[in-house]
A and B are shown apart, each in its own frame.
Chain A
Amino acid sequence: MPTADPRAVASSALAQGSRYALEIVAGTAVGGFLGWQLDRWLGTKPWMALLFLLLGLVAGFMNLMRAVNREAAIVNAEPVPPGVAPDQEGQ
């Protein structure tokens, strides 16, 4: 694997990080909105809103967890280059 430009790595990390942070917020918002609409349809106020708010939050965190697992798999698969102590990674 070629050594990546640290600035490119940093901006890609910035992009990824902001993406998952936003997905948690948007997931909760969309879930809450869906539940609120369902309540108006079914007349089950406030149960659907509460349920879907939670589901939206879970959806946001599930995306984050998947991304973390994917990154972890990449990091674990990478051979440690010679001369680099394992605890110096990520500095």
Chain B
Amino acid sequence: MASPLEQFELHKLVTADVMGYDVSFTNSAMFMVVTVVLVGLFLVLGMRNAKLIPGRWQTAVESMHEFVVGMVDENIGPNGRKYVPFIFALFMFVLFANLIGLIPFAFTTTSHLAVTFAFASFIFLLCIAIGFARHGLHFFSLFVPPQTPIVLLPLIVMIEMISFLTRPLTLSVRLFANMTAGHILLKVFAGFIISLGLAGGIWSAVAVLPMAMNIALYALELLVSVVQAYVFALLTCVYLNDSINLSH
């Protein structure tokens, strides 16, 4: 029987090599393209005949955008409006990548740490760049919480710096771990269905149990996909907020 980890294997569809670097077009890259195309179609076709009184599709697109705008307003405030396109693109990509991954035989791009860490480190560097662009060297006051006793200052600054450095790690590991764990669980229970079903006799009847479990897990995975996309966008807002509105 196939290993539950087989679904995460990368296959080269087009082999390419640029100056010694392997830049092959893999199944992961293909599903990223599929994700981008589907997001694009969803948005463009939904807004093609935009009317004052929106139809179902237009309502779906608009409510998603309003959701992100609301999240940005709540977490960043009026200064965050110009980052709405970035957060919206991020949210839509992660959401669609997670949901496409749940379709049988599809590949989940967000189940690879390389992908999520690339996103997270880009966000991390962006936060630093925006912070220095807006506040200059005053940005370092991020590491000094208000009302810190002068005696504790070196210790607190050190702790705050470590806490700042964990951001790209927590952001990427959370998404990656949630998607990977869920998909392994689905495959393991699917494996139980097959092996019990083939065992014959009374065991074949028992195969209904992992089947029911898998259906329940599938519903849970749908929830996890949406929640993790939301959390990824939300934390990006929280981190951007620290760079945009220094609290003191």
A-to-B contact residues, CB < 8 Å: 11, 14-15, 18-19, 22-23, 26-27, 29-31, 34, 52, 55-56, 58-60, 62-63
Contacts and interface: CB of A to CB of B under 8 A. Distances in A.
B235 interface: yes
What's the dominant secondary structure at chain B's contact region? helix
Given A26-B173, A30-B169, A19 B162 contact: no
A59 B166 contact: yes
B162 A27 contact: yes
A29 B158 CA distance: 15
B29 interface: no
Contact of B159 (A14, A18, A19, A59): A59
B62 interface: no
Nearest to B159: A59
A60 B227 CA distance: 22
B162 A56 contact: yes
A43 B170 CA distance: 29
B96 interface: no
B7 to A, nearest CB: 23
B158 A11 contact: no
B159 A15 contact: no
A63 B227 contact: no
A55 B159 contact: yes
A63 B159 CA distance: 10
A59 B227 contact: no
B139 interface: no
Contacts of B173: 22, 26
Interface string B147-187: 00000000100111011011001100110000000000000
B180 to A, nearest CB: 14
What's the dominant secondary structure at chain A's contact region? helix
B223 interface: yes
A59 B231 contact: no
Contacts of A63: 163
Given A62-B159, A63-B163, A26 B227 contact: no
Interface in B171-220: 173-174
B230 interface: yes
Given A14-B227, A29-B169, 15 more contacts: A15-B231, A15-B234, A18-B174, A19-B174, A23-B163, A26-B170, A26-B173, A27-B162, A29-B166, A34-B162, A55-B158, A59-B166, A60-B166, A62-B163, A63-B163
A30 B166 contact: yes
28 contacts: A11-B227, A15-B227, A15-B230, A15-B231, A19-B174, A22-B173, A22-B174, A23-B163, A23-B166, A26-B166, A26-B169, A26-B170, A26-B173, A27-B163, A27-B166, A30-B166, A31-B162, A34-B162, A55-B158, A55-B159, A55-B162, A56-B162, A56-B166, A58-B159, A60-B163, A62-B159, A62-B163, A63-B163
A59 to B, nearest CB: 4
A56 B164 CA distance: 11
